[in-house]
Structures are given as C-alpha cells and as structure tokens.
C-alpha cells in the first residue's frame, strides 16, 4: 500500500538562464526534470497509447482530465489506480474540468468532488477546479473568476485527505494584469507545491504573445519563485522558448492531437496544413520515411495518427533544444532565433524590455558561452544591463587617471589585443613615460558601451560576437552610456579616437557631457588603419590637455 506514503515534496533547481531553470520535481511516481511537457492523454479518444508516449516518444509524464475520467469511467480508474488504468508508470498530472467550464459553461461536478476524485484515482499532480477567466470578458467578470478560484484554492486545504499528491494552485485574471497580480499574490500564500497560469490559450490563438508576456510576468513576479509554474494549454513548440525564458516550467499539450485532427502539422517555427506541404520540413522518424503526398493518400484515421506522432516528436525535440540552451547559457540566443519565425513573437521578445530589471536580477552572472549580439533587441539581455549597473555602482577609474582616451570598437577581442590599441599603448609609454598612467584608455563598443581597458577580459566583455556596423539604436545606447560615464567621472579632459563608421552620435554625446562638466573634448577620427601621423596628433592633443 503506497497510497498514504508521504512523499518528500520538492522542486530543486539545478541550472538557470534568464528566468528559466532546469529543475527536478519529485512526485510519488518518480522524479521528473523540468522544463517538462505533459502530453495530454484523452482517455476516451487517443491515437497514441500512453505506453508508446513513454517508450517511443520518451515522455516521463502525461496529463489527463479528471473530469472526463469521472464522467465516462466513474469508479473504474479509482479501483484500478490511474497508472494501471492508463498503462503508464511515469508521473501523471490531472486537470480538473476547468477548461470544460470555459468552453461549455457549467459542468456536472463540484470543486469538492473533483478534489476527492483526484485523490481516489491516485493521481500524482492534481488541480483544483478553478474558474478560467477567458479573453473577451469584462474586468468585473474577470475579478469574479479570480475571487471564486481563490476561494476554491483555500478550501482545498480543508478538504484534501492525502499529503503525497502535489497540488496545483491556478492563477487567473486573464489580460487584467492587476487581477493576475492579486491572484498570484494570494494563491502564492497558500501551501501549493505548483502554480499554474490559467487561460492563455485565447491570447495565443490571437498571436498576442506580447500580452502573454505581460500575463506570465504578472504571475511570475508575484508567485513564490521556488515553486514550479505551469502554463496551461501552451502546447505549441514555437513558443516554448519564450515561455520557458519567462520562468514557465511545466506545459501541457493537447495541441499535438487537436492540431492533428484538423490536419495541421506543427514545426518549431510555426504551423502548416498538411495539404499545403510539398516536402516534410522535418527529420523525425515519421517524416523521413514518407512524403506529404503519400500521407494524404492514407485513410483519415492514419493521417491523424501520423500528424499526432509527428507533432509529438517536434514538441519533444523543442523542449530538449530549450533545455540544452539553458545548460549552455544560450537561451537568449535560442529565443532570438525563435522570435524570428513570426513578427508576433519578435514583438513579444521586445516586450521583455519592460521586465529587464527583474530578469537581470535572476539571471546567472556568468555563463558557459559567449554572447551573440545581433542588434538593439539584444540590448534587453541581462548581461548588458548587468554590466551597465556594475560599471555605475562598483567601478572607479584608476586614481591617477586625469584624461580619458576613448577608443572606438575594433574587431579584435579582447580589445587590448588589437593592433590599434597596441600602437596607442606603445606611443603613450614612449611619449609620456611615468605620466602615461594619467591617461586612461577605455573602449567604446557595442553592445556594452564604455569598457575600461583593464576590464576588457571580464566576462562577457570579450566573449561575444557582433555585427558591424551596429544598428542606430545600439549606437545611441553606446553613446548614451558614454555620456553617463563621462558625467559621473572626474576626468579633466576627454579625447575620442574613433575609426569611421561609428556615427556622429558618439561624438555628439561625448562632447555634450564634456561641455556640461566644463572640461575639454577633442575628437580625432581615422579611416581604416591607425596611421603614424594620427599617433603624432594624438600625442600632441594629450600633451596639450595634460599641460592645461
């Protein structure tokens, strides 16, 4: 009898990147790793058996619907035990019928019955009967769904009889972010082991991934961060990277089967209709063996199974891609790739700027890989903000520094290994000897802004790949960083030595800062190679400034 065995409930975070984490979630049927996708198994109609979902497709967990089980099979799953009933010895999660409430209005059960039923059938992860807010509703209605869900959440802890089942506390509120915040705060106070964000399906169907970002962040920032967060009904692989980056740990996919029923073929980049395809853009075991034309000739039932299996393969593969990206510290890179599969996802990525501070606070300080920097979208990266904050709060130029010599970006990294820097350093040593340390060399580079030469090997200031020239927004960011840096410094003069291509913005902002501080500014521009004549001009300029 393992029914009342108390399971040490815990979620252990192993790896982090952005707000994503790889974690271990202990359930009474085994420990599963997150981010985790639960394929939805419909006990009534199911084209892929639970056993195959584990053995062939490699899923450790599945989700099924307690309400449907109860309506169709009554006591049978309880008698056999859900695991034997479904033929699945991994972790089983049950949903409560809340989605059916959203679709069909009232359903024929009560919150209390659903609690009791989930305990009886011996599920591993159970969900209270919450009230989904939906999309096209008034704020008043939304507030009522939040209130009633919360009431039901509280009553769980008076009613539940077992301690070895993990309970999910759903957050509602829809697109009314203040309600989502309230719902998250209140639900988070209750001793749930897992939380879930309800009803994002309609937001996703409308491709409003920017709104989804707001909804997830409203929940995430107000829930206990050490509990896993499930995103209900988010089963399309093309948005896993986004949701995981925002700290969603658990997903369920009915989509793989529902899409199949409608002849829709998922990819990690979007969706096709099967009859639109001439080639299968996929390496999965189903697609490599045949072609769209041949599949379309099969009986409808086989077409559906083919699609469901393909959809499940690509969903599983994308979860693994996301996990590997987390391990590599490359989730942002993966996110940028996925954001460039649909403008709505790119729009959502840009929305992350709003949460930059929060993400930066939780993102690991060092990672295993260098950064890929494409354009100003990458300025949202926590590494960029992290450096900006550190430079502001913790950095002081060398004491003896009197003149700031700003050198614009070179292609070599670390910058102090560049030919240009080496000839500048040599000139300074030769011409200024013991006075050379009064001249402080800093680089101006995308995306980080001002980089003092003595820091340029610190991660990730040299560990990144960029595109030249940067886009305008990036140039402006660098220029503004430079302005701030000069403004808060004690330098007595600034020389900007810039190769062409770095636009006027940098010069304008540096000049503006110097004017404000009442110190001299000199701009020296060179084209391509740093010639000897320029080094002579530089020497004279610095000599003049130092003697003033």
CB 43 within 8 A of CB 22: no
Q: Does 253 bind a copy of itself (CB under 8 A)?
A: no
Stretch that binds a copy of itself, among 46-54, 97-105, 346-354, 534-542 (CB under 8 A): 346-354
Q: How many CB atoms lie within 10 A of CB 336?
A: 21
Cβ proximity to a copy of itself, 115 vs 287, nearer residue: 287
- Report how many residues bind a copy of itself under the rule CB under 8 A: 53
CB 209 within 8 A of CB 348: yes
Cβ proximity to a copy of itself, 197 vs 478, nearer residue: 478
d(CA 249, CA 14): 13
Tokens of residue 81, six digits: 């035990």
Query: Which residue from 276, 277, 274, 260 is spatially nearest to 312, judged by alpha carbons?
Result: 260
d(CA 491, CA 520): 10
Q: Does 438 bind a copy of itself (CB under 8 A)?
A: no
Cβ proximity to a copy of itself, 57 vs 73, nearer residue: 57
Cβ proximity to a copy of itself, 261 vs 321, nearer residue: 321
- Minimum CB separation of residue 278 from a copy of itself in Å reads 5
CB 72 within 8 A of CB 48: no
Which residue numbers are catalytic? 95
d(CA 25, CA 8): 10
Q: Does 52 bind a copy of itself (CB under 8 A)?
A: no
Stretch that binds a copy of itself, among 153-161, 165-173, 299-307, 329-337 (CB under 8 A): 329-337
Q: Does 57 bind a copy of itself (CB under 8 A)?
A: yes
Stretch that binds a copy of itself, among 191-199, 239-247, 296-304, 367-375 (CB under 8 A): 367-375
Among 60, 80, 144, 375, binds a copy of itself (CB under 8 A): 375
**Please, which residues have CB within 8 angstroms of residue 283's CB and are 6 or more apart in sequence?**
none
Q: Does 177 bind a copy of itself (CB under 8 A)?
A: no
CA-based end-to-end distance of the chain? 88
**Please, which residues have CB within 8 angstroms of residue 531's CB and are 6 or more apart in sequence?**
none
Task: Check whether the bond before 460 is cis (ω within 30° of 0).
Answer: yes
Q: Does 383 bind a copy of itself (CB under 8 A)?
A: no
Q: Does 178 bind a copy of itself (CB under 8 A)?
A: no
Q: What are the residue ranges of helices labelled H in 57-176?
A: 66-73, 76-80, 82-86, 98-104, 111-121, 139-159
Stretch that binds a copy of itself, among 104-112, 156-164, 311-319, 384-392 (CB under 8 A): 311-319
- Minimum CB separation of residue 338 from a copy of itself in Å reads 8
Stretch that binds a copy of itself, among 151-159, 273-281, 392-400, 403-411 (CB under 8 A): 273-281
Query: Which residue from 467, 481, 470 is spatially nearest to 503, judged by alpha carbons?
Result: 470
Cβ proximity to a copy of itself, 350 vs 386, nearer residue: 350
Q: Does 284 bind a copy of itself (CB under 8 A)?
A: yes
Q: Does 341 bind a copy of itself (CB under 8 A)?
A: yes
Where do we find the tokens 């809340």?
98
Q: Does 466 bind a copy of itself (CB under 8 A)?
A: yes
CA angle 537, 538, 544 (to 5 degrees): 90
Q: Does 411 bind a copy of itself (CB under 8 A)?
A: no
d(CA 541, CA 474): 29
Q: How many CB atoms lie within 10 A of CB 423?
A: 17
- Minimum CB separation of residue 348 from a copy of itself in Å reads 10
d(CA 457, CA 531): 26
- Minimum CB separation of residue 310 from a copy of itself in Å reads 9
Question: Where do contacts with a copy of itself occur on this chain (CB under 8 A)?
Answer: 56-58, 269, 272, 276-285, 287-288, 313-314, 316-317, 320-321, 323-325, 327-328, 333, 336-337, 339-344, 346-347, 350, 372-377, 465-468, 471-473
């Amino acid at each position: 009898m393992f029914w009342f065995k108390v399971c040490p409930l815990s979620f252990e975070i192993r790896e982090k990147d952005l707000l994503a984490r790889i974690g271990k979630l202990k359930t009474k049927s085994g420990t599963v790793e997150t981010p985790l996708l639960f394929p939805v198994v419909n006990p009534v109609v199911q084209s892929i058996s639970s056993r195959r979902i584990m053995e062939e497709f490699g899923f450790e967990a599945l989700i099924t619907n307690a309400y449907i089980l109860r309506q169709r099979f009554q006591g049978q799953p309880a008698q056999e035990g859900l695991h034997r009933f479904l033929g699945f010895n991994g972790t089983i999660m049950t949903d409560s019928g809340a989605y059916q409430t959203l679709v069909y209005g009232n359903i024929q059960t009560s919150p209390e019955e659903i609690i009791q039923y989930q305990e009886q059938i011996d599920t591993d992860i159970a969900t209270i009967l919450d009230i989904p807010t939906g999309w096209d509703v008034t704020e008043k209605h939304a507030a009522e769904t939040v209130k009633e869900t919360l009431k039901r959440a509280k009553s769980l802890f008076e009613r539940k009889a077992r301690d070895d089942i993990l309970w999910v506390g759903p957050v509602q509120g829809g697109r009314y972010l203040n309600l989502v915040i309230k719902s998250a705060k209140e639900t988070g106070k209750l001793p749930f082991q897992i939380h879930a964000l309800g009803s994002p399906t309609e937001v996703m169907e409308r491709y409003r991934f920017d709104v989804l970002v707001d909804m997830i962040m409203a929940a995430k920032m107000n829930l206990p961060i050490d509990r896993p967060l499930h995103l209900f009904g988010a089963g399309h692989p093309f948005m896993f990277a986004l949701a995981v980056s925002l700290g969603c740990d658990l997903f369920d996919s009915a989509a793989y089967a529902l899409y199949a029923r409608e002849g829709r073929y998922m990819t990690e980049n979007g969706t096709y209709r099967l009859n639109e395809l001439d080639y299968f853009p996929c390496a999965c075991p189903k697609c490599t063996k045949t072609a769209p034309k041949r599949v379309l000739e099969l009986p409808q039932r086989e077409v559906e199974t083919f699609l469901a299996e393909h959809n499940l393969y690509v969903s599983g593969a994308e979860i693994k891609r996301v996990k590997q990206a987390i391990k590599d510290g490359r989730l942002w890179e993966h996110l940028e790739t996925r954001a460039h599969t649909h403008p709505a996802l790119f729009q959502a990525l840009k929305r992350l700027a709003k949460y930059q501070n929060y993400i930066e606070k939780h993102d690991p300080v060092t990672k295993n890989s260098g950064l890929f920097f494409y354009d100003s979208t990458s300025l949202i990266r926590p590494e960029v903000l992290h450096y900006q904050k550190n430079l502001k709060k913790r950095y002081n130029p060398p004491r003896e520094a009197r003149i700031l010599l700003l050198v614009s970006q070179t292609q070599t990294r670390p910058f102090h290994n560049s030919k240009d820097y080496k000839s500048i350093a040599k000139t300074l040593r030769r011409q200024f000897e013991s006075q050379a340390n009064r001249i402080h060399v800093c680089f101006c580079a995308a995306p980080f802004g001002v980089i003092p030469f003595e820091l340029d090997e610190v991660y990730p200031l040299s560990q990144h790949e960029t595109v030249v020239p940067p886009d305008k927004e990036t140039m402006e960011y660098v220029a503004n960083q430079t302005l701030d840096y000069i403004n808060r410094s004690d330098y007595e003069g600034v020389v900007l030595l810039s190769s062409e291509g770095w636009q006027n913005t940098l010069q304008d902002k540096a000049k503006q800062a110097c004017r404000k501080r009442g110190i001299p500014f000199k701009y020296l521009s060179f084209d391509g190679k740093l010639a000897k004549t320029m080094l002579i001009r530089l020497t004279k300029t610095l000599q003049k400034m130092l003697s003033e």
